[in-house]
Amino acid sequence: MTHKDTFFTQKRSLNLGGRLMDLTQPKVMGILNLTPDSFYGGSRLADETQILARAEEMLAQGADFLDLGAYSTRPGAEEVSAEEEEERLIPAVELLSKTFPQAFLSVDTFRAAVAEKAIGSGAHIINDVSGGTLDKKMFATVGRLGVPYVLMHMRGTPKTMSKLNQYQNLAQELYSYFAEKIQELKSLGVKDLIIDPGFGFAKNIDQNYHLLNHLAHFKSLGHPLLAGLSRKSMIWKTLNCQPSEALNATTALNMVALQHGASILRVHDVKEAKECITIFNKLKNNC
């Protein structure tokens, strides 16, 4: 990964339904889990009242995006049918789009049909944990819809990924994976891409920290980087605690991610992430 690998100019904005999002300053994506089995119990939302309350709180705290997921992607998670995923996701997208029309909504799904219905219901971004590997129609669907796409790295499925973490050179293999996928997406007309290295997805704890240390390598791919570290097992297993006790260390790793080039922090705790960005900017502006 040298300068000769830099084949795109760094993109610093997203087109979100005709509105431009400036990424010259880091942004925060708040997580809204519509599942009963998300790894962090404090993020689970059971009904419309809870969804609206959490969304309102996150937006008031400065969330730049809300990311809605209706299929738990924690390691070992059981599969959810497309019908059940839709039943959880689409009404929530419609509710939030109507209640908070200025909010930017992302949908966390690897199914092209679900993603298309969500975009039609008011969502702006498709966040695909599988990078198009679990639904071969996803890339063409994103190109046709003309929406931003979060391209993440994962192997297998949430149920099998923890056993698929053998690499010769982790950072180099992920770089090649992203370079190939980006070319394919560009050929289909996709203009707005976000790169997510997939912390915790087919990587063990040490590999996650290695990847974080090498996050800056992926800047030369030419697209904004998203870091999803919030309360993950790489934190609470290292500290021998529970996800509910992992906020302080999450903030510490979010600062590292920002220093290595992350443009978006995907988090459960918006207020603390915004504070982290404020401190990061102060530090950067006083070198």
Q: What amino acid positions are annotated as catalytic residues?
A: 232, 266
The string of DSSP letters for 126-155 reads EEETTTTSS-TTHHHHHHHHT--EEEE---
Distances (CA, A) of 95 to 17, 120, 165: 18, 13, 38
255 CA to centre of own chain:
17
Q: Is the dihedral of CA 108, 113, 116, 121 positive or negative?
A: negative
CB 201 within 8 A of CB 154: yes
How far is residue 256's CA from residue 253's CA, in Å, rounded to a whole number? 5
- Torsion-angle region of residue 276: left (phi > 0), alpha (psi -120 to 50) or beta? alpha
